[in-house]
Structure 1
Amino acid sequence: MKNPLETILAYHQRTKHHFQRYATGPDGLDWASQPNPFRTFEGCKQLELPLLIEQPHPLYTDLYEPKAISAQPLTLKNIAELLELSFSISAWKQYENTRWALRCNPSSGNLHPTEAYVISEGCEGIADGVHHYVSRDHILEQRCQFDSKKHLLPAESFLIGLSSIHWREAWKYGERAFRYCQHDVGHGIAAVRYAAALLGWQAQVLSSSSDEEISAILGIDREADFGPAEREHADVMLLITARNSVTANDTPDLEQIVHIAKSGQWFGKANVLSVLHANDWPVIEEAAVACTKPETETQPWFAPSLPTPVSSSCEKSAIAIIKQRRSAQSFDGKTGMAANVFYRMLDLTLPRQNTVPWDTIDWAPRIHLVLFVHRVEGLAPGLYLFLRNDSIEAFLRSHLSSEFEWVKPEGCPEHLVLFRLVAADAQNAAQALSCRQDIASDGAFSLGMLAEYEASLAHGSWIYRQLFWEAGILGQVLYLESEAAGLRGTGIGCYFDDGVHDVLGIKGHAIQSMYHFTVGTALADERLQTLPAYDHIKRN
């Protein structure tokens, strides 16, 4: 029997796409079993949340200025705003008779496996307990009522728990779906952090928490409440604090919250998302079990002091940028981008002290960027490498092709560790490596995310999930920065893993690909209608 590390290493190898074949998945899409995109719990009390009235301030650029936004009070209205700007529907799209929702948090294939929960205490208008968020109607369903007079949470704070329904992705993507669910958790973490920053709040991943604790608090381990419904898998717990700063004393005692949750009064039965499952892809459950996270002691990593990020000319509000985020479907194949915009995007992928969204996690960067530059002003087209943690440079120099140039581009800010590896037209390579998709070659640039794989997993198989979370956080940074620059981005989950490694001359498994992304000028599809997010809801 394989141990957890062997299982997850085997899963990653098994679910790679290759030039000769793709990872195992459905032969076609069974539309009759398409999962319901909205999880609900029948029999819960429902709390209608107030809808946000868009404001011109704060500006998007204010989100990156520590303490530039005053902390708002912990109220029902402000919690509703955080949820609306992180997990709600941002718009509906319609083509002929088909209608689908877009959301503020990106998702692979727009399938949205991530579910969000609020654990509240002492907030007027919200009962103490566990609540499930339903984005379709912008409501909270009360899953559990706490019966305790103990103070469970730090002052002016609440918890957000995230879980995944793997079936939502597996229906379309088969065995590779576990990867995509973890990308989406990263997107969700970053979406929460940006929304919290807009309120002047803090958000922190509780890195020491175990999956067992999270499952018990969210109630997703309650067999009787799910019955035939698709299960949810615990992902992450975040502490949201309605202050501009937090201290070590602000960490909640999850063990105590587990005890209170187990003795609380629970409500509701989960809905079934698909009546028929043609194939549940057992390897996904094997990977999930292998990645189960125990309670851990963490040694927080502190980001270095870096120069102020490259400035932005964006004058839009934070709300506008967050709500207009979309995944591009195609690019014009000719429009480029300014060098300062390109450098700012790279700059904001670097963790900084007290700067979103990287202050949400407490581990050092494990992912670096290999860039296919097509049309960036002042940069020769070619293959580039950007290091998010320069301590890895010597290691990568020894593990990548000996024929690379390793030249820092002229005009690149000093603190950005960017190297040109090869000066050449990289469009065909980018297109071929991203499953032959033109979107990777038609933008201004595309990139692949390379993880410090073996060294990271040596600390625990569950870190496999965190590598994808980090990739998802990077994706959300690039999504929002693209919108702020008048461009558009899109994540690419389909790529030929080992083909990327071959181009770089990588041997062995020390470095592995996690995610691709591309940025450019999007072509509009005039056939699609865009409809308001909540035109079906009338509230004050």
Structure 2
Amino acid sequence: MNALEYHLRTRHFPNRFAKSLGYLDWENQPSPYKSYFEAEQIPLKKITPPKKTYEKLYLKNEPNPINLETIALMLRYSLAINAQKVYGPSSWYVRVNPSSGNLHPEETYIIFKNGVYHFNVKNFSLELLAKSDKNIIENGFLIILNSIPLRESWKYGERALRYCLLDSGHAIAALRFSTNLLGWNMKKARIEKEYFLSKFNFHQNEEEIFEAAFFVFEDKIPDIDLKILKNLEFKTAYSPLSKEKVRWEIIFESAKKLKDETKSEFIKKDISFLPSAFDAYEIIDNRRSALGFKQKYLPKNDFLDILDKTLHRKIPPFDVEITANLIDFLIFVNRVEGIESGIYYFDRKKAKLSLIEKGDFSQSAKFINCVQDLGSDSAFTINMIAPIPTNENYKSIMFESGMIGHILYLEAEAKGVRGCGIGCFFDDLITKEILNDEKKIATYGFSVGVPLIDERIIKL
């Protein structure tokens, strides 16, 4: 099944949702944490970061030395646990990076100097999977991002591959902002994935899907000796994530056909910043998905500034060169001071906002987004759209959607409001009914507004 066939088959409709189990098998919910029990555990230090002004998320920073302490700082402010939600007798952890349903399909591996490591999120440690007498990589390190679809398909069934790709986009953007604050560069690693992943034994209990790999460095792309890597002995035994599982063949059949051959295209438009009351690390650490919204207005300048930050410039996070500037926005403006309520189209290549129709369409935004109040109560709600995908660009399209979502999360926090990603929407109502364009697909939704306070959050 090719990318387009997969995306069309996993659409939601008002009278029919994409295929799933139809219930939540709580006895067999996959663990969101993976641990290699035979590997040596290397605890990471939690370091208080320096103060960085908000705009430093996007601008160049002075480089820090690359070592385990600074790698720990990078992970702490991109992929780590940083809070707990408590509701009655139940509690669960939440992380710096967003994920649909807080299910977190991502797994992170790092090749640094002479070691291959897995990031153990729960313990905030690195697990040494393999070690060499000689350095595998010089002048930086390599990050590998994978997904375990089982964590998403447990709840979302066939649509899970979409969420794996979107969550990978979130993770890529989170890593890029974090590496940039440390003064490092991060670029897509263009090496044959089968060659350097052959020893990782990702198929022992649950299947992992390779998503992307990135070099992280100060000024020169690292040298990596794949021959050393290929000959290493790996300790890859890990505990099963669930007792029983349902394997959705469509996910793995479709994922195998996806390529990664996108060429990045950037717009040339100067960036400017509105002042923020929060510093960069504070914004990252405070990011949460809004529980709901108060029906209050957002200033026009904040709205326009948020849109501006999503433009595909050659700065973080898009400078990792894994996206192609293919996403535009259908926007429901519900409550923005100085802008008439209505449906708008935002062309990201031209940085142009156009009115489609005036009026209060907040209830339409609610219905289209699976009848969720997030659509109607927000200041504005975005539905991201893209051209008909191919096997070559589908990953890039979904990564870009997730990366934009992460920008929207941080920008909302910088403005003192909050955002929430929306993965559930009625695809055809967006593309066929409103846009009247069968050559577009809907990829992701996002709302921004004044949040209801989630009293369950305990910062860690």
TM bin, normalised by shorter chain, reads over 0.9
How high is the sequence identity, in percent, across the aligned residues? 35
Query: What residue in structure 2 maps to residue 260 of structure 1?
Result: 228
Q: 1:78 to 1:453 in 2, by over 3 A?
A: same
Query: What residue in structure 2 maps to residue 74 of structure 1?
Result: 66
* TM-score (norm. length: structure 2): 0.96
Distance 1:430 1:237 in 2: 36
> What's the secondary structure of 1:132's corresponding residue?
strand
Q: Which amino acid aligns with 2:206?
A: E
Pairing partner for 1:437 from 372, 386, 399? 372
> What's the secondary structure of 1:305's corresponding residue?
coil
Q: 1:238 to 1:346 in 2, by over 3 A?
A: same
1:431 Cα deviation after fit: 0.5
> What's the secondary structure of 2:293's corresponding residue?
coil
| 2:24 counterpart of 1:61 | no
Work out whether residues 92 and 532 of structure 1, in 8 Å CA contact, stay in contact via their aligned partners in 2.
yes
> What's the secondary structure of 2:197's corresponding residue?
helix
Q: Which amino acid aligns with 1:63?
A: L
Distance 2:404 2:202 in 1: 34
Work out whether residues 220 and 232 of structure 1, in 8 Å CA contact, stay in contact via their aligned partners in 2.
no
Query: What residue in structure 2 maps to residue 491 of structure 1?
Result: 421
Query: What residue in structure 2 maps to residue 304 of structure 1?
Result: 267
Paired residues in the alignment total: 460
1:453 Cα deviation after fit: 2.1
> What's the secondary structure of 1:451's corresponding residue?
strand
| 2:403 counterpart of 1:473 | yes
Work out whether residues 214 and 234 of structure 1, in 8 Å CA contact, stay in contact via their aligned partners in 2.
no
Q: Deviations over 1:262-299 (max 9, x none)?
A: 2112114122011011x2222111111222x37x6x7x
Distance 2:195 2:404 in 1: 27
| 2:43 counterpart of 1:48 | yes
Distance 2:178 2:58 in 1: 12
Q: Which amino acid aligns with 2:305?
A: R
Query: What residue in structure 2 maps to residue 341 of structure 1?
Result: 302
Q: Which amino acid aligns with 1:303?
A: F
1:164 Cα deviation after fit: 0.3
Pairing partner for 2:157 from 166, 174, 181? 174
Pairing partner for 1:209 from 191, 196, 218? 191
Work out whether residues 211 and 235 of structure 1, in 8 Å CA contact, stay in contact via their aligned partners in 2.
no
- Where structure 1 has 5 or more consecutive residues not aligned to the other structure, the ranges are 1-5, 122-127, 391-415, 534-540
Work out whether residues 267 and 349 of structure 2, in 8 Å CA contact, stay in contact via their aligned partners in 1.
no
| 2:453 counterpart of 1:531 | no
> What's the secondary structure of 2:109's corresponding residue?
strand
> What's the secondary structure of 2:453's corresponding residue?
coil
| 2:341 counterpart of 1:427 | no
Larger-Rg structure: 1
Q: Which amino acid aligns with 1:531?
A: I
Distance 1:13 1:308 in 2: 36
| 2:2 counterpart of 1:16 | no
Q: Deviations over 1:23-48 (max 9, x none)?
A: 11122111111111101111101101
Work out whether residues 146 and 265 of structure 1, in 8 Å CA contact, stay in contact via their aligned partners in 2.
no
1:97 Cα deviation after fit: 1.4
| 2:242 counterpart of 1:274 | yes
Q: 1:462 to 1:170 in 2, by over 3 A?
A: farther
Query: What residue in structure 2 maps to residue 129 of structure 1?
Result: 115
Q: Which amino acid aligns with 1:267?
A: K
1:51 Cα deviation after fit: 0.5
Work out whether residues 220 and 231 of structure 1, in 8 Å CA contact, stay in contact via their aligned partners in 2.
no
> What's the secondary structure of 2:250's corresponding residue?
helix
Query: What residue in structure 2 maps to residue 413 of structure 1?
Result: none
> What's the secondary structure of 1:92's corresponding residue?
strand
1:471 Cα deviation after fit: 0.3
1:352 Cα deviation after fit: 2.0
Distance 2:252 2:202 in 1: 18
- Where structure 2 has 5 or more consecutive residues not aligned to the other structure, the ranges are none
Work out whether residues 45 and 72 of structure 2, in 8 Å CA contact, stay in contact via their aligned partners in 1.
yes
RMSD: 1.8
Q: 1:471 to 1:432 in 2, by over 3 A?
A: same
Query: What residue in structure 2 maps to residue 153 of structure 1?
Result: 137
Query: What residue in structure 2 maps to residue 239 of structure 1?
Result: 215
Q: 1:73 to 1:240 in 2, by over 3 A?
A: same
1:372 Cα deviation after fit: 0.4
Q: Which amino acid aligns with 1:234?
A: F
Pairing partner for 1:367 from 322, 327, 339? 327
Work out whether residues 85 and 323 of structure 1, in 8 Å CA contact, stay in contact via their aligned partners in 2.
yes
> What's the secondary structure of 1:428's corresponding residue?
helix
Q: 1:21 to 1:214 in 2, by over 3 A?
A: farther
Work out whether residues 214 and 236 of structure 1, in 8 Å CA contact, stay in contact via their aligned partners in 2.
no
1:214 Cα deviation after fit: 5.2
Pairing partner for 1:186 from 156, 164, 169? 169
